[in-house]
Amino acid sequence: MKKTIFITGASTGMGKATAIFFQQKGWNVIPTMRNPDKETDLSQLENVILLPLDVTDPGMIKSAVTKAISIHSVDVVFNNAG
């Protein structure tokens, strides 16, 4: 079974690089960012599911986590946002 990583703050920098790294290693990747509709690189990758998340909004946090665990069992959380 593939492992799954949930990443906050994946629109640029370390978060985005981590998402690409784990995707290339065959993992399921759930990268989050404030505006996933604007992301063009990660959205093209297999086994990557983008979710909206603003870590300053408790409602969005709950929604993103609930959605993520409904898609895959999460093995690793990389809390990079902020």
Look up residue 16 and give its two tokens: 């985005």
Summarised one tens digit per residue, pLDDT across range 8-47 is 999 999 999 999 999 999 999 999 999 999 999 999 999 9
pTM: 0.95
Asked if the model's pLDDT at residue 7 lies above 90, the reply is: yes
Residues pairing with 79 in the sheet: 8
Q: Alpha-carbon distance 46 to 36, whole Å? A: 16
Asked if the model's pLDDT at residue 1 lies above 90, the reply is: no
pLDDT at 5: 98
Residues pairing with 4 in the sheet: 28
Q: Alpha-carbon distance 19 to 28, whole Å? A: 9
Domains, the chain: 4-79 (3.40.50.720)
Q: Alpha-carbon distance 23 to 67, whole Å? A: 19
5: DSSP letter? E
